Structure 1
Amino acid sequence: MWGVQLSSAEPFVYSIFGLQYHHEPPTEEQTTCQKEFDDLIANHATHIDRLVQEGSAGSKVAKTFIWLGYWKTRTEYLDWWTSDAVTSFWANLSSHAGLWREIMMPSDTRTQFGTNQPKPSGLGYLGTPTSLGEKSGYWGCYRHRMSSFQDDNFTTNVDKEIVQVQHYTLQDTDHELPIIPGRQILTNLPDNVCFVIEGQDHSEITDEEKEFWFKNFDQSVERWMNDLVFAGEGSGVLDSKLCYCPESGIFRESDSDLSALNYNKKVQLFYFKDLRHLERIGRSNKGHVDLRHRFMGAYGPGGELTSGKICLWVETTVIKGNEIECEYVGCFEGTGWLALGEHEIFAVQYSD
């Protein structure tokens, strides 16, 4: 297993931008908005995964186009974000734009990255590949890969967390869709929320490996993803986004509700209440425990697929409240962190 050595000179940045399609196909206005923003961010972030999240059953959102950006330093991100072109674009969004952002600037001492391949993926684009050595294959290894784990228990204090939401009304609020017109800006977010990225890329998988995958792993992976998405508040899963890269091509044909898994490259984004809740659900879900054991046996040293081509990666980052910025412009109620009021562990204060 491989990790990554990040520079500790200043925080790296996750920038997640999403554009909600209120209709399918998207309107001309949204198509133009997507192209304009893509032109603005292209060639600026160190790496960008362009992903699609399909609307779930009962969702008013047809789909969401997501830019998952990785930036080596906060300075690089802020130089781009405060540039005249980006500032002007964001300031002139319509009240029903459907565009949102979730920006995280965490310390490298509270993150970990693991992959079975030394080639770049996810956080691997931000640093130098390094062997994980003995910090792999046991419960608690994610925590132990974070250098600050001895000084920080990474636990959310549920008794005092208050999230503040500021609403700014924009012009042109006469729109037929049931969205929240204007800007919703979240501040004073809770400490120690755990942000997780899980990614799988089957693009280079061999026929032999693909046969083994379908026989031994595919259904188990789908059940585990389904369990996470529908785990509920009690499990500590605050938000989940199952995404895919359309350009990667189809990996399988399935009428599953989790259609994102049909593509070669898929990425899942999760927010957990804290690292403890991530560890708890991983250990308590029998399907995940069995899947993890079988995967390590097949792809680990001496396994049948030690030289397999599939690329899997996982990133786990503990976020302090002052390290995240969230803003939603003309989005549906309950989008992203706007759903915080649904979770009993947070109190939400609204102001105009």
Structure 2
Amino acid sequence: MTAAVLSVEKFTVSMPDATASTPALGLGQDIDNCVPFMTVSSDNEANEAQMVDVKKNGGTNKFDFTATALGARDLEVTVVEFDPAQVTIEEVSFTLGSGLTANVTVGTIVEANTFPIVYAHSAGDTTDGYDHVMMRATFTSTTNLQIIKQVHQADLVGHAYILEALNGQWSIETGASIPLAYTTAQTTKNAAITVTANRTGLWSYWDTSDIGDDPRDSIWDGVITDATNLDLTRANGSTPSADGDIESFVVNFAADVAVVQQGEFNYVTAATKTAAISAPGTLGNTMVVATNAYGWCESTGVTVARATCQGRMTFNSAIEVLGTRSGFGNGEYRQNFQVIEWLIGGAAAAAEPIIIMLGY
């Protein structure tokens, strides 16, 4: 099979204000064939400070980031370029407003081969409720991506990247996102799957009825436990009280596309945590991201600073990853991660990652 991935480029971006950008892409990429994967940390506890939208800027060959002016954020961004003969990439925009549902028209897809990466920022103050900002995403037809929240406080304005494999580069387990409804008392949700565990990635999206700022209620964390189990957890052993729905895209990559490791940062109350990994074949082609869009952490704590419930991820070395939250909270935190090595066929890659430090 022809290699699906052409290049991988990494950026560390400081975002002290409402907008920021990567430098111009430096590997000769066509930005229309690229997808940004991102994790975030923020020094402000407002919900809207945690949310960052990402869109491509073809005129400058950069990716632009938008958030509110509250606080400062640090971003770890990996831009992956795909071969358009093997993978189609479509960027679509949406506004999720008072109707609570955004139906986003996409080019006709094969759902069993397609998954979205969804980002958004809040266009205004969302007060305390996670119910205003948590988004569930799923395809409702071959031409419609549906994005849902439970309560409206301010518009969520965002972009989604639609990744479709054309020639077997990956498949979506069960042929579509896996829906799991959760009740107020549930702390775990499980689904039976059949995958190759070390070639499988996970991206979950969910909504919540939580009207306050309790991360025990609102933040789900997922992991591919083994070849037959998808496990999602919240509340880190404490008692939640909100309900909602989860959609999980379980992406089983072909053997020549990606190798995947999954693990967990168990922060307890620390602001940083390391975890050991097996050395990838080429660190420069490898990214570490969360199993949800931004890097949300589950917590035992109630009414904690929301900035402590989100962590960005990077590499300390080829055998160690680092998670970083902002400050300390009054709960105990844990956060799943996935290390994905993109296999670039026929190209010699650098032994170390290309990392551009922006804003430091």
The TM-score, its normalising length taken from structure 1, stands at 0.29
If you compute each CA radius of gyration, which structure gives the higher value, 1 or 2?
A: 1
Q: Point out the structure with the larger helix share.
A: 1
